[in-house]
Amino acid sequence: MHIGMDLKIKRWNPKILLHSTKHSFLAWLGVSASQLELNGVAISSVKTVKKTIGAPGILGCDFNFTSADNTTEQVIDLGAITPALARILDAKTHTEVAFTPDPTTLVAETGISSSGDELIASATIKAADAITACAHGAALNNAPVATAGHVYVAATPGANWSTITAGKLDVYISYIEAV
């Protein structure tokens, strides 16, 4: 297979050997553990983790809000999302299934501390296809740390948690892994 006039794919091993006699170029391009490598050195280590938070009792979620006869903020610790020394690039949420019956309001923030909004400021998430995201550059304001980093989503409904019977929120965290 020829790419252009002077670059050939010499073999697939499951790596591609790139070779150009005209430019004295020889390199292996491959994929290992879901990252791109050139001559065995990782050149891309951007990863995205998706976690789903459901209304009380909703199946098929990583986490669920708890049914309660109050409108108290609930904080969900998504766990150690980012490995040590990683830098968060982006955070966003997408309401896959509306939170119903209508809790009048349902606002959430996303951060790297419990009840924090370091990643996404307080915004409504109750309607289907509601999307929240980092303000421009907000994620980059958070320095990498020497240990795995937790991400938290805190939400407050306008009606008792116990009245909410449906709803799913997907949380996406993208980061650069230190390799």
CATH number at residue 74: 2.60.120
Q: Within 10 A of 45 (CB to CB), how many other CB atoms are there?
A: 17
Q: What is the pTM of this model?
A: 0.77
CA–CA distance, 99 with 168 (Å, rounded to integer): 7
167 plus 79 within the same structural domain: yes
Residues 6+ apart with CB under 8 A from 126: 95, 98, 99, 102, 103, 105, 106, 167
139 plus 94 within the same structural domain: yes
29 plus 55 within the same structural domain: no
CA–CA distance, 140 with 20 (Å, rounded to integer): 39
- For the stretch 109-141, pLDDT in tens is 999 999 999 999 999 999 999 999 998 777 778
CA–CA distance, 3 with 46 (Å, rounded to integer): 27
69 plus 28 within the same structural domain: no
32 plus 57 within the same structural domain: no
Beta bridge partner(s), residue 117: none
17 plus 55 within the same structural domain: no
What value does the mean pLDDT take over residues 8-15? 59
CB 57 within 8 A of CB 151: no
Q: How many structural domains does the chain have?
A: 2
Residue-averaged pLDDT of the chain: 86
Residue 13 pLDDT level (bands cut at 50, 70, 90): low
CB 94 within 8 A of CB 104: no
What is the distance between the terminal CA atoms of the chain, rounded to a whole angstrom? 32
CA–CA distance, 93 with 128 (Å, rounded to integer): 11
150 plus 170 within the same structural domain: yes
- Residue 18 is part of which domain span? 2-42
Cis? peptide before 101, omega within 30° of 0: yes
Assign 162 to helix, strand or coil.
helix
97 plus 17 within the same structural domain: no
Among candidate residues 154, 172, 168, 152, the one with its CA nearest the CA of residue 64: 168
Residue 43 pLDDT level (bands cut at 50, 70, 90): low
What value does the mean pLDDT take over residues 14-37? 66
- For the stretch 155-173, pLDDT in tens is 999 999 999 999 999 999 9
52 plus 17 within the same structural domain: no
